[in-house]
Amino acid sequence: MAYGFRPMWHLPIRASNWDSAAAPLGGLPSYHTVRVEAPAESSPRWICYTSQSTTYVLRERAAPRQRRVRSHLQLLSSFARFMRSTTGATEPMAEVSIRKIVKEYEGNVQAVKGIDLEVADHEFLVLVGPSGCGKTTLLRMIAGLEEITSGEILIGGEIVNDVPPRDRDIAMVFQNYALYPHMNVFDNMAFGLKLRHVPRTEIKQRVDHAAQMLDITSLLDRKPRALSGGQRQRVAMGRAIVRSPKVFLFDEPLSNLDAKLRVQMRTEIKKVHQAVHTTTVYVTHDQVEAMTLADRVVVMNQGIIEQVGPPQELYHAPATQFVAGFIGSPAMNLLPCRVLNGTDGLRLALTNDIVLALPPSRTERYAPYVDRPMLLGIRPEHLTQYDAESESRSGVVRVNAPVDVVEPMGMETMVHFFVDSVAVCARVDPTTPAEPGQSLPLAADLNQMHLIDPDSGRVV
């Protein structure tokens, strides 16, 4: 229970609203200010804290004044988290559980089709997917801004389906920042805390701390109209940080920024999460943003989850054709193919002329798919310039590419060509002499390939 911060919190409690579960309360006057030295854990229903060497466990009574008591508790809980974020001590759990969540709009539109998802405490989870896949709807249901058709959402172990947004202890950062134009930066950041009656000195302390973290201290007196897009975005993040909520929700927060600023702010968001560790759910349609920010990425498509996993896992071991094609830039090449039985092992026929020997390590896995129309998935970086060394590598085969377009990128060169009518991209060394119209020998590393069953859409 040692959090290692100074006694500095005063919690006003009305004794009539409490039951003491494990400590002296009887001696308290009817309205009392408790000096909390080390808040341990709290929830809207109960609180455990240490005051002057005595541990108290209080249970909230179902009293008419519940809301008032709850807001005190929320304040305490937020403050404790804020302190812990600055002292690095352990925080109470703030995981989000999404259970069989369905969202149906009028006209039988099923935007979210029975999603199950666990967001761990401290985790940075990114929801990514194409436009209309349901990611914003899911985020808004977590925030309480969208009604749930069926299923349950839990924050910190408590079902919040019927809890209004302001009582969910979440902070949301929107794409359009939603700053108050008539307030300066300080007041914009402080506004939510003022509404919650946080003492003025504490508001200043929190705003200053967040402003320092985001490098906007010199902008605190400015109005939003005198800020650049990136600065406004920082203020919007600062407003969320000062709240010290259980959960941050980000809805495409960088999409209004230009490409350079987006990359810069991406790093800032990552830094902030490394500093405050708040559980975060982040929505984007940009798979690079998803890969760079996330502890785990959730790929959504048409209201369902295609795959959940750490970025590297999604990249190297996609479970479905959709994930294989969505994650990675340039995208994975997907080519119709057929697995054939050869005298010396399995072969992969792309056309009548292009038949490649499959690595023996894949024989058992691909044997059930012999003679069925399948898809070969191979990333551009696994189609590289062919050289003497390539020949000696097991599982690496030669393919002659009729070069269509060459794109020098500096560090690498993209070579585009067609197999039948399917466009293929290879990533070669910039020193490779590649010219449109020529045949370029490429090394295809089939140890890195994926075989997809087009009927099920699954990688086999």
Q: Which residues bind ligand ATP (CB under 6 A)?
A: 105, 109, 111, 129, 131-137, 285
Q: How far is the CB of 236 from ligand ATP (least distance, A)?
A: 18
Q: What stretches of 244-299 show up as alpha helix (H) in DSSP? A: 259-276, 287-293
User: Which residue, 21 or 109, has its beta carbon nearer to ligand ATP?
Assistant: 109
H-run or E-run covering 108: none
In the chain, the amino acid numbered 177 is Y
User: Which residue, 48 or 294, has its beta carbon nearer to ligand ATP?
Assistant: 294
Q: How far is the CB of 24 from ligand ATP (least distance, A)?
A: 52
Q: Which residue's CB comes closest to ligand ATP? A: 136
3-state secondary structure of 363: helix
> What is the DSSP pairing of strand 333-342 with strand 345-349?
antiparallel
User: Which residue, 103 or 382, has its beta carbon nearer to ligand ATP?
Assistant: 103
284-306 per-residue burial string, b: 16 or more CB within 10 A, e: under 16: bbbbebbbebbebbbbbbebebb
H-run or E-run covering 285: none
User: Which residue, 131 or 392, has its beta carbon nearer to ligand ATP?
Assistant: 131
User: Which residue, 17 or 137, has its beta carbon nearer to ligand ATP?
Assistant: 137
CB 413 within 8 A of CB 432: yes
Whole-angstrom distance, CA of residue 127 vs CA of residue 286: 10
User: Which residue, 283 or 319, has its beta carbon nearer to ligand ATP?
Assistant: 283
User: Which residue, 129 or 144, has its beta carbon nearer to ligand ATP?
Assistant: 129
Whole-angstrom distance, CA of residue 252 vs CA of residue 255: 6
Q: How far is the CB of 247 from ligand ATP (least distance, A)?
A: 18
Complete edge-to-edge strand list for the sheet that includes strand 124-128: 170-173, 247-251, 279-284, 124-128, 296-301, 304-309
Q: How far is the CB of 176 from ligand ATP (least distance, A)?
A: 13
Q: How far is the CB of 320 from ligand ATP (least distance, A)?
A: 17
Q: How far is the CB of 175 from ligand ATP (least distance, A)?
A: 9
User: Which residue, 28 or 145, has its beta carbon nearer to ligand ATP?
Assistant: 145
In the chain, the amino acid numbered 231 is Q
Which residue matches tokens 């600065």? 231
User: Which residue, 134 or 224, has its beta carbon nearer to ligand ATP?
Assistant: 134
Query: Rg (Cα) of the chain, in Å, rounded?
Result: 28
Q: How far is the CB of 261 from ligand ATP (least distance, A)?
A: 20
Q: How far is the CB of 88 from ligand ATP (least distance, A)?
A: 35
**Maximum C-alpha span of the chain:** 91
Closest by CA to 377, choosing from 318, 450, 460, 442, is 450
Q: How far is the CB of 139 from ligand ATP (least distance, A)?
A: 8
Q: How far is the CB of 148 from ligand ATP (least distance, A)?
A: 13
Question: DSSP character for 162?
Answer: T
User: Which residue, 301 or 333, has its beta carbon nearer to ligand ATP?
Assistant: 301
CB 74 within 8 A of CB 163: no
Closest by CA to 322, choosing from 71, 124, 129, is 129
Exposed/middle/buried for 447, CB within 10 Å: 0-12, 13-18, 19+?
middle
Q: How far is the CB of 318 from ligand ATP (least distance, A)?
A: 19
3-state secondary structure of 24: coil
Whole-angstrom distance, CA of residue 104 vs CA of residue 125: 24
Question: DSSP character for 107?
Answer: T
User: Which residue, 19 or 147, has its beta carbon nearer to ligand ATP?
Assistant: 147
CB 278 within 8 A of CB 122: yes
